[in-house]
C-alpha cells in the first residue's frame, strides 16, 4: 500500500538529494580546476555537520551507513585492480622500496602523535594517515598526465601495491590494539587477525579463479547482487572477527579475477562513486569546522615533512630502478597525494573517539595534500627539466 509520505521521509529525501546535488556541483568545480574531488567532498561534509552552515537532521544516519558501505566498496574495487599474481610479483621486486616507503612516511605521523603526548594507538593511526598515498588520485594523475608508459611508473605502482598490502595487515592490527586489554590479550588478538588475513590471502590467490567462475553471471544485475552480497558478507564476518570489514572486502577483490573481475569493475564503479562520496562527506560531517584553524599549523608542518619524505621515497626507489633524475622527481612528486585511505584510517580514530585532535588534524592534512599533491605531480616535469637535467646531451 502506498501511503502519503511522512514528514520524516520527505526531510530525508530533501536532505539526501540536497547533499548529492551539492557533491555533484563540487565535483564539477574540482574537474574545472583539475583537482581531485575528495577534498571538496570533505568540505561539503564539514558544511553540513556539527557547527556547519546547515545541520542535517534525518539524513545523517543514512549517510553514516552509506559511508560504511563506501569504505567496503573502496577497498573491494582496490582489490579488483590487482590480481594475486601482481601483488606477489610487486612485493618480490619492490620489497625494499616498500620498506623505505613505510619507514620514511609512517615516521612523521607517529613522531608527531608521540610528541603531542597522544595515546600510542592514536600515534600509530596518524602514522597510517601520513604513510598511505592515495591510489585513486594517483591512478587518475598518471592517466591524465599520460605517464602510464613512463619508466618510473612501474615503481610508483609497485609502491602503491605494497602500501595496500601493508594496509591489509595494518587495519586488523589496529582493530586488535583498539580493543585493548592486557599485553597478552592484545598479542593473541593481533596474532589471530594477522593469521586470518594471511590465510585468506593465500586462499584468495589459490582459489580465486574457482570463486570467480562461481560468481560470474552474464546478467549485470545478477553479477551486481552476487558481488555486493559476497563483499558485504565477508566484510561483516571480518568485522565480527575484529579483523576490519574493509580488509575483508579488499581480499574478496583480490580473489576475483578474469572476466568476473572486469565485469565487476564495470558494474561496481558507479556504486563505489556514490557511496565513497558519502563516505568522504561523512568524515567531514563528524568534524567541527571551528577546530580546523587550530589544527592548521600542525597540519601544514606535517604535510611539508611528509611531502618531503614521499619525494625522498620516490627518488630513492626510482634511482634503484635505474631511472634518471627527472624521472626520480616525477616518481616522488606523484606519490605525495594523500586521500581516501588516509581518511579511512583517520575515520577509525574518529569512530573510536580515541583522540579528539586527530580528526581535525587529519582532515586539514588530507585537504592540503589532496590538493597540493596533484599540483606538485603536474609541476614535476618543469622542475625536473630545470634541476634534474641529465648529463646526456643530444647530439647536434
Binding stretches for another protein (CB under 8 A) = 81-82, 86-87, 89-90, 139, 146-154, 157-158, 160-161, 262, 323-324, 326-327, 330, 381, 384-385, 390, 392, 394
- Distance between CA atoms of 322 and 320, rounded to whole angstroms? 5
Q: Which is nearer to another protein, 22 or 158 (CB)?
A: 158
Q: Which set of grid coordinates corresponds to residue 34?
A: 583539475
CB of 153 to another protein, least distance (A): 6
Q: What is the rounded CA–CA span in Å between residue 344 and residue 350?
A: 10
CA distance 365 to 351: 18
Q: Which is nearer to another protein, 40 or 263 (CB)?
A: 263
**Gap between the Cα atoms of 373 and 134, Å rounded:** 10
| CB 179 to another protein: min, Å | 33
Contact (Cβ atoms closer than 8 angstroms) between residue 109 and residue 306: yes
Least distance (Å) between residue 263 CB and another protein: 12
Cβ neighbours around 73 below 10 Å, total: 26
**Which residue, among 103, 171, 194, has the nearest Cα to 349 in the 3D structure?**
171
Task: Compare residues 158 and 371 and give the one whose CB is closer to another protein.
Answer: 158
Instruction: Compute the least distance from the CB of residue 349 to another protein, in Å.
Output: 28
Comparing CB distances to another protein, the nearer of 119 and 324 is 324
Q: Name, in order, each residue with C-beta under 8 angstroms of 64's C-beta and a sequence gap of 6 or more.
A: 282
CB of 63 or CB of 380, closer to another protein = 380
Residues 366, 130: Cα–Cα separation, whole Å: 9
Q: Distance of CA 5 to CAs 10, 21, 60, 335, Å?
A: 7, 22, 19, 49
User: Grid coordinates representing 333?
Assistant: 612528486
Q: How far is the CB of 368 from another protein (least distance, A)?
A: 26
In whole angstroms, the minimum distance from the beta carbon of 389 to another protein comes to 9
Measured from the CB atom, is 254 or 307 closer to another protein?
254
Amino acid at each position: 500500500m502506498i501511503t502519503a509520505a511522512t514528514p520524516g521521509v520527505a526531510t530525508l529525501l530533501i536532505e539526501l538529494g540536497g547533499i548529492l546535488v551539492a557533491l555533484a556541483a563540487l565535483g564539477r568545480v574540482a574537474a574545472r580546476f583539475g583537482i581531485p574531488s575528495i577534498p571538496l567532498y570533505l568540505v561539503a561534509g564539514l558544511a553540513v555537520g556539527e557547527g556547519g552552515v546547515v545541520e542535517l537532521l534525518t539524513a545523517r544516519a543514512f549517510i553514516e551507513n552509506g559511508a560504511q558501505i563506501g569504505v567496503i566498496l573502496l577497498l573491494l574495487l582496490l582489490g579488483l585492480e590487482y590480481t594475486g599474481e601482481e601483488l606477489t610479483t610487486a612485493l618480490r621486486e619492490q620489497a625494499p622500496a616498500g620498506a623505505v616507503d613505510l619507514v620514511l612516511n609512517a615516521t612523521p605521523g607517529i613522531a608527531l602523535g608521540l610528541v603531542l603526548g597522544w595515546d600510542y594507538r592514536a600515534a600509530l593511526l596518524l602514522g597510517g594517515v601520513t604513510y598511505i598515498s592515495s591510489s585513486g588520485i594517483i591512478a587518475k594523475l598518471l592517466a591524465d598526465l599520460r605517464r602510464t608508459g613512463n619508466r618510473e611508473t612501474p615503481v610508483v605502482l609497485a609502491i602503491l601495491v605494497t602500501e595496500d598490502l601493508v594496509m591489509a595487515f595494518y587495519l586488523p592490527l589496529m582493530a586488535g590494539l583498539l580493543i585493548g586489554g592486557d599485553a597478552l590479550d592484545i598479542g593473541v588478538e593481533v596474532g589471530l587477525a594477522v593469521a586470518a588475513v594471511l590465510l585468506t590471502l593465500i586462499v584468495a590467490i589459490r582459489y580465486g579463479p574457482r570463486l570467480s567462475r562461481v560468481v560470474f553471471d552474464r546478467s549485470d544485475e545478477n553479477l551486481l547482487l552476487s558481488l555486493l552480497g559476497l563483499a558485504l558478507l565477508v566484510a561483516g564476518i571480518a568485522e565480527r572477527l575484529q579483523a576490519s570489514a574493509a580488509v575483508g572486502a579488499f581480499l574478496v577483490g583480490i580473489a576475483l579475477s578474469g572476466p568476473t573481475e572486469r565485469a565487476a569493475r564495470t558494474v561496481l564503479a558507479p556504486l563505489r562513486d556514490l557511496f565513497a562520496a558519502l563516505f568522504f562527506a561523512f568524515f567531514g560531517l563528524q568534524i567541527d569546522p571551528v577546530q580546523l584553524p587550530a589544527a592548521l599549523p600542525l597540519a601544514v608542518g606535517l604535510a611539508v615533512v611528509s611531502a618531503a619524505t614521499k619525494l625522498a621515497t620516490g627518488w630513492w626507489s626510482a634511482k634503484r630502478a635505474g631511472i634518471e633524475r627527472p624521472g626520480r622527481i616525477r616518481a616522488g612528486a606523484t606519490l605525495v597525494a594523500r586521500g581516501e585511505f588516509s581518511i579511512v584510517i583517520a575515520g577509525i580514530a574518529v569512530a573510536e573517539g580515541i583522540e579528539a585532535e586527530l580528526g581535525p588534524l587529519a582532515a586539514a592534512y588530507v585537504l592540503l595534500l589532496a590538493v597540493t599533491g596533484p599540483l606538485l605531480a603536474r609541476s614535476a616535469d618543469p622542475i625536473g627539466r630545470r634541476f634534474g637535467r641529465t648529463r646526456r646531451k643530444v647530439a647536434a
